[in-house]
Each structure stands twice: as C-alpha cells, then as structure tokens.
Amino acid sequence: MIETRNLVKSVDTSEGLLTILKGITLKVNEGEIVAIVGASGSGKS
C-alpha cells in the first residue's frame, strides 16, 4: 500500500513561491492501478 495525507508541493518561480498541490490525500491498495495524466510539461513527474 502507498498512502499520503495532506501532501503539499510548492515550487520557486521568478514571481515567488507557487503552491501547486495542497491537501492531497491518496491511498493506493495492493493490486490497484493508478494513472496520473496531464499535458506535456504540466509536472506529472
């Protein structure tokens, strides 16, 4: 199992700190498949 609670991710930009994720809670149980989708360059990795 993989689990995260209240995940926050911020990045530095030329205009200051930008919060791109806030309060993300996710639980992936054994055997489940999850896909993260988005446009090229949107920060999926």
pTM of the model: 0.61
Contact 27, 10 (CB under 8 A): no
Tens digits of pLDDT across the chain (45 residues)? 999 999 999 999 999 999 999 999 999 999 999 999 999 988 788
The predicted pLDDT at position 43 comes to 77
Domain residue ranges in the chain: 1-45
The predicted pLDDT at position 38 comes to 93
Q: Is 2 exposed, middle or buried (0-12, 13-18, 19+ CB in 10 A)?
A: exposed
The predicted pLDDT at position 33 comes to 96
